[in-house]
Chains A and B, each alone.
Chain A
Amino acid sequence: MLDLQNVTKSFGKHLTAVADLSLRLEPGVVGLIGHNGAGKSTLMQMIATLTKPSSGRILFDGVDIAAKPEAIRRRLGYLPQDFGVYRNVSALEFMQYFAALKGVRDPARIRRLLELVNLHEQAGRMASTFSGGMLRRLGIAQALLNDPDVLVVDEPTAGLDPEERLRFRNLLAELGFNKLVIISTHIVSDVETIAGRLAIMKSGRLVACDTPDAILGRARGQVWSASVDAAEYDVLRATTHVLQALRQGERIALRIAHPSLPCANAQPSEPSLEEALMAQRYAVREAA
């Protein structure tokens, strides 16, 4: 469906945001994970045709979207991390405006989408008075107006309360049943339960793309738990990657990412997805 071939994006001579990235994406939820500055947003913006690759190609059903952006725009829904709304515009008018821009003729669809995101009772209210969570919901409704085949969502749960976060996640998971949903985030819990695949970026490069189970499997034997004193902790902090440190009386309970036994009393431990990703990043750093 979406085929990224050796995609590079540079800004000037010295900043390469995305470097030689190749990836093939099919319908389902894909989590794009990486720390701040890893190149996730730039990659999302290239997929959303906001910017063009410096080199390489992004093919959507075989068509290069840098050369023919309209090939994807009609089938694309995009929700950026931050967006605003016009003043003096109701939620309904906001939706009507974007429906017109996208050529969506069915007025009932606007109503259905507002119901889907639970804003139908607020349709006549000025969108500029919405809370952050309501704005994100309005944003997703806007992104779904044209029934997109590709939904690109940047940091979807930023600013949402736990209940809205859960609701939002479930909505994205349902959409991923038959569409390609690309979710960019640095919060692993946003995607760990809904993403079929995780693409991990670091410094503009794709360092892994696999299922969550496979990533967890690779991390087994690299995550350890140990109970140490303060002096041992100082040594371990300098030589290993400490994932968690919790003081328990005189001792400190640690969880550590390391390819081999980090200290004598360390025990192998079942990693969480976040720990597995940290272990993977650590392994990449070690290899570099």
Chain B
Amino acid sequence: MNMHIVRTLALLEARVRLRRTSTLVTLLAVAALSWLIVVDPAGGQTLMAIGGARVRYTSSMLALGSAAQASLLFALAGFYLLRGRMAEDQRSGLGGVIGASALGGRAFVLGRWCGGVLYLLALIGASMATVLACHLVRGEGPVELDVYLSTYLVVLGPMALFTAGCAVLWESWAPLMGKRGDLLYFVVWAGQMGMLPAVTQGPVAATLPFDFSGMSAVIAALSAHVDIHNMSLGIADFDPKLTPLTLPASPSLLLLRADIVAMRAASALLAMLPLWLALGLFHRFSPDRVKAARAGTRRSPLAVLDAWLRPLARLAQPLFGLAARLPGVPGQAMADVALTLGTAPTAIALLLAAQLLALVLPTAMLAPLVLACVAFWGVLVSDLSTRDFDAGSAVLGTAVPGGAARRYWRQLAATLLLGLMFTGVAALRLLAAEPLRALALPGGLFALAAFATMLGRTSGSARTFLVLFLFGLYMGIQIHHVPMADVIGFHGTATLMSVLAWSAMGAVAACAGHLWNRRPVHPS
């Protein structure tokens, strides 16, 4: 393999990604998130609290805490950010050119992987730079760069290798392409999170090298010094009356312990497995294998189900007629609803089932039903605002009454309408028993619909919303007592303020997307 070619491809790949406007948006988002998680203790919250006492903002604490948060974020979002380059090659026709060239498939895959790792390192670098800046403002000790670098390397290194490897493998092998691949990776990520309880049981478990995210390493490092069962990591409340705790300054007492370093080294080696598989499975844009992948969507369980339920698509046809009769945005939104349901007959079946269950289930069972409906809805609508562009029919939709500006609002309305169709009956029943919970549902759905439409429009990819939605859903189920985390009222902890706050954020997101949508662009 010619390493010069690999190097050229890797640098080209990194440049292509870094030059995109979406990367700038991502970098700004990463910087903003990193700044937000190193919360100012003067406000009564901190990054890490143990037994109610906050942990001082020293280099070791800030490095460990921020790396742990970054590992959560990048292990999930990184994959979705990296994914899609080979699909781009396929769509543009360059895939065939690459496949017909003398370039070796292994060099190509390796180049893409290296480029992906470089891109992730750039994002991680932006995150670390922001935390360093935050340290200068809120820190309680000197900035020790070596502590930051070693912590980030141990926690995030294997994660970057694994995430980039998965992104390449998921694109190189036909069965992993498409939306079902996206969902499968979420399961992989959630599986890693599922290993974390094993760390709290005692010494470093044998399965932990398979936690590439690095969270287990952080917990293992902390467990030697503090009671991790009473630990809060993230934006945590603390008791200001308690004396702040201090983590050991030396990395060798925390992460650079022999057992943890060995575990992370093993993780790094195992993290190369997806790349190794991708090298062997790469389709080289062969029409047989790529078309087989497209055909495979018909063979996937969901696609097979859609094919079986195809007659149900007829139920969506009256909606087209209704849409033509309704004026303006409502009519066009109804057309988008009809198209969404018509292309996914499974959604129609689940919609009918949801209505039935919402009518017969006891009130106590409605919350899990609503959660399941919202989970399905989120996946269903994740590409509603991008499908025109993905299908190449965007200009057709721009030349219809209302043009591009109305398209944005009708897609937002259609997204919300679908959410209400799935959960409306349950919400009405909840209204009598738990009004606030019933109120949280439309408020949360509006916010999620606004974010779905805005993120789809600004990033041009359905994955941006999908990843944040799945991540938020996972976190929302885990966090029981924080009103703001109860977006749709699943736990019943949402308050009027949290409902209003989410509605306001939805309104801001909707307006931001509208402003982005209005910017002048070259239509071709």
Listed in ascending order, the chain A residues whose CB lies under 8 Å from chain B are: 11, 41-42, 45, 48-52, 69-70, 73-74, 76, 78, 80, 82-89, 93, 96-105, 107, 139, 142
Residue of B nearest to A76 (CB): B399
**Chain A residues near B403 (CB, 8 Å)?**
49, 69, 73
A97 contact set on B, CB distance < 8 A: 320, 335, 338-339
Chain B residues with CB under 8 A of A99: 320, 324
Are A101 and B397 touching (Cβ within 8 A)? yes
| 13 CB-based A-B contacts, threshold 8 Å | A11-B522, A45-B523, A51-B522, A70-B402, A73-B401, A85-B391, A85-B393, A87-B297, A88-B343, A96-B320, A99-B324, A100-B334, A105-B321
Q: Are B332 and A100 in contact (CB under 8 A)?
A: yes
Q: Are B396 and A96 in contact (CB under 8 A)?
A: no
Interface centre among B342, B393, B397 (most CB of A within 10 A): B393
Given contacts A11-B522, A85-B391, A100-B320, 4 further A-B contacts (CB under 8 A): A87-B297, A88-B343, A100-B335, A102-B401
Closest B residue to A47 using CB positions: B399
Contact with A along B320-359 (1 / 0, CB 8 A): 1101110100011011001100111000000000000000
Check if B343 sits within 8 Å of A87, measured CB to CB.
yes
Assess whether A89 is in contact with B339, with CB atoms less than 8 Å apart. yes
B400 engages A101 (CB within 8 Å): yes
B297 to chain A: closest residue by CB: A87
Are A86 and B396 closer than 8 Å at their CB atoms? no
Q: Roughly how many angstroms separate A51 CA and B398 CA in the complex, as a whole number? A: 10
Instruction: Find out whether the CB atom of B338 lies under 8 angstroms from the CB atom of A100.
Output: yes
Chain A residues within 8 Å of B331, by CB: 100, 103
A-B pairs, top 3 by smallest CB distance, nearest first, are A84-B392, A100-B335, A100-B323
- Most A Cβ at <10 Å: residue of B313, B321, B391, B520: B391
Complex Cα distance, B327 from A89, in Å, reads 24
Cα of A83 to Cα of B396 in the assembled complex, Å: 8
Range, interface on chain B: 35 or more
Contact A98 B400, beta carbon cutoff 8 Å = yes
Asked if residues B400 and A73 are in contact (CB atoms below 8 Å), the reply is: yes
The verdict on A49 contacting B399 (CB below 8 Å), with A96-B320, A100-B335 known, is yes
In the bound complex, what is the Cα–Cα distance between A104 and B398 (angstroms)? Answer: 16
Tell me the B497-524 residues at the A interface (CB within 8 Å): 520, 522-524
CB distance from B524 to the nearest CB of A (A): 6
Residues of B within 8 A of A (CB): 297, 306, 313, 317, 320-321, 323-325, 327, 331-332, 334-335, 338-339, 342-344, 387, 391-393, 395-404, 520, 522-524
Enumerate chain A residues within 8 angstroms of B320, measured Cβ to Cβ. Answer: 93, 96-97, 99-100
Which residues of the other chain, B, contact A139 by a CB distance below 8 angstroms? 396
Residues of A within 8 A of B398 (CB): 48-50
B490 nearest CB across to chain A (Å): 31
Which one, B306, B335, B395, contacts A78 given CB within 8 A?
A: B395
Please measure, in the bound complex, the distance between the C-alpha atom of A89 and the C-alpha atom of B321, giving whole angstroms: 16
Q: Do A96 and B338 touch across chains, with their CB atoms under 8 A apart?
A: yes
Cα of A96 to Cα of B398 in the assembled complex, Å: 17
A70 CB to nearest B CB, Å = 6
Shortest distance in angstroms between A125's beta carbon and chain B's nearest beta carbon? 12
How many angstroms from the CA of A85 to the CA of B391 in the assembled complex? Answer: 5
| Interface contact A50-B339, CB-CB below 8 Å | no
Residues of chain A within 8 A (CB-CB) of B325 are: 105
Beyond A87-B391, A97-B320, A100-B323, is A73–B399 a contact (Cβ under 8 Å)?
yes
Contacts known (A82-B392, A83-B395); A102 close to B400, Cβ less than 8 A: yes
The answer to whether A86 touches B399, judged by C-beta atoms less than 8 angstroms apart, is no
Q: Give CA–CA (A73, B332) in the complex, Å.
A: 14
Known interface pairs A73-B403, A104-B324, A107-B321. Does A86 touch B391 (Cβ–Cβ under 8 Å)?
yes
Which listed residue (A45, A52, A73, A85) contacts B524, Cβ 8 A?
Answer: A45
Q: CA–CA, A50 to B398, complex, Å?
A: 6
CB distance from A214 to the nearest CB of B (A): 31
Docked complex Cα distance between A50 and B397 (Å): 10
Complex formed: what's the CA distance from A139 to B393 in Å? 10
Alpha-carbon distance A229/B253, docked complex (angstroms): 90
Contacts of A69 in B (CB 8 A): 403
With A73-B399, A105-B325, A107-B321 as contacts: A86 and B339 at CB distance below 8 Å: yes
Cα(A117)–Cα(B520), bound, Å: 35
CB of A98 within 8 A of CB of B396, answer yes
Give Cα A229–Cα B347 distance, bound, in whole angstroms: 73
Does B397 contact A88, Cβ atoms closer than 8 Å? no
Bound: A218/B321 CA distance, A: 54
Note all chain A residues with C-beta closer than 8 A to B520: 51-52
Contacts of B401 in A (CB 8 A): 70, 73-74, 101-103
Cα A197 to Cα B312 with chains together (Å): 50
Of the listed residues B306, B323, B395, the one surrounded by the most CB atoms of chain A closer than 10 A to its CB is B395
Chain B residues, Cβ within 8 Å of A93: 313, 317, 320, 339, 342-343
Chain A residues near B313: list those with CB within 8 A: 93
Complexed CA–CA distance, A48 and B394 (Å): 13
CB neighbours (8 Å) of B402 from chain A are 70, 73
Cβ-defined contact, A89 with B343, below 8 A: yes
Q: Which single residue of chain A is at the shortest CB-CB distance from B405?
A: A69
Verify A50–B395 contact, CB threshold 8 A.
Answer: yes
Instruction: State the CA gap A101–B337 with chains docked (Å).
Output: 12
Residue of B nearest to A103 (CB): B324
Quote the shortest CB–CB distance from A211 to chain B (angstroms): 29
Assembly CA distance A51 to B523 (angstroms): 7
Q: Give complex CA distance A83, B398 in Å.
A: 12
A83 with B392: in contact, given A73-B401, A88-B343, A104-B324 (CB under 8 Å)? yes
A41 proximity list for chain B (CB < 8 A): 524
